[in-house]
Amino acid sequence: MSSSALKAHDDKILFKAHNDSTNLSRNTKRACAACGPHGGGEHVVETDLKVCTGCRRIWYCSGDCQKKDWKRHKPFCQIHQRQQAAMDQDAQTLSAIGTQPNMPSLNVLRDMLADFANLHHRVISVVVGHELGKRSNAFPPLDFKTDCISLSLKLRDPDANPASIYEFTGGVVPCPLNSLDSEKQQLLALYAEKLSEANIHSSTLGMFFIPALLRVERPPFVYITTVELRRDHLDLNLLKKTVPDDAPWWAQLDYNAQKGLVVRRHWNDRFQTYVELLGTLKQKEADIWRWEKAEDSRGNQRDKEELRERKKLFKK
């Protein structure tokens, strides 16, 4: 695979602020849910995609693709519509109370959470892997059909750095699906089913995907995403803590969020591998934030030492 093709899988470094004019995160690349980002012919662009009129969260390049995907999408569509109706009701309640006059809409807060989860997904993998690794070195570390990862959050500041908008307040791993209410169980079961094929193909590569439930306390809503675990995430030496040893297992996540620290993965041509580097988001324009590497961080210094060791091996 060419260097440019490998670099195409680098993590995003530019993030846009949100507004009420879109119904999907401005930082999420749209693709046809049926044929994917490379289907539908080379001339299909994001602006040509049509949104599902039911949930308004899934996009298609044609009516044929939508019909073909309907059996899979139907249960998701119904749940998304119920969630949206509940969010609309909550929005009316919050508006009537009038305690937070400058609060963004719940749809915008949901998109902010989607970006927040994307920004922190690398460190979430390491922190979750560390906690599971303390219990067992078995891999996969849990059954993704009966267990998930549950993280509780609350809004810190909607005007903050995108990596600091939310605050981590709790977490359960593994979280049994049968401990959740019926609607969350149904949604997570559907999500786990979607991960089944990916886990079959990735298990031979030492990778495993787990559904993660992010629950915001106030205003109340949920978001489901995927945590990628590799076998080396269970290595207890991988996580370099900057919080006390007796702190809750999820405390490192909130430390990073509070400080606006973000791990991004990039392809390194010199050593022909992906490296994960720590950095922060810097505001470049009114609505644009750019990730910049932290030159003096402990994590980046460790990565530099590992790369130097690889360089020595290459010379032998």
- DSSP annotation of 32: B
Whether 201 and 94 have beta carbons less than 8 Å apart is answered as no
Per residue in 219-250, pLDDT tens?
778 888 999 999 999 999 999 899 999 999 99
Whether 144 and 98 have beta carbons less than 8 Å apart is answered as no
Identify whether residues 119 and 94 lie together within a single domain. Answer: no
155 pLDDT band (50/70/90 cuts)? very high
Looking at 101, 135, 150, the residue that finishes a domain is 101
Dihedral of CA atoms 197, 201, 206, 212 in degrees, nearest 10, equals -20
Per residue in 104-128, pLDDT tens?
777 788 888 989 999 999 999 999 9
Whether 219 and 209 have beta carbons less than 8 Å apart is answered as no
Q: Which residues contact 204 (CB under 8 A, 6 or more apart)?
A: none
Identify whether residues 171 and 95 lie together within a single domain. Answer: no
Q: Residue 21: pLDDT above 80? A: no
Q: Residue 252: pLDDT above 70? A: yes
Looking at 101, 119, 138, the residue that finishes a domain is 101
Domain count for the chain, please give it.
2
Q: Residue 129: pLDDT above 50? A: yes
- Provide, rounded to the nearest whole percent, the portion of the chain with pLDDT above 70: 80
Q: Which residues contact 89 (CB under 8 A, 6 or more apart)?
A: none
Widest pairwise Cα distance in the chain: 71
Identify whether residues 76 and 116 lie together within a single domain. Answer: no
Lowest-confidence region among 42-46, 130-134, 193-197? 42-46
Q: Which domain holds residue 65?
A: 28-101
Identify whether residues 204 and 306 lie together within a single domain. Answer: yes
Identify whether residues 247 and 200 lie together within a single domain. Answer: yes
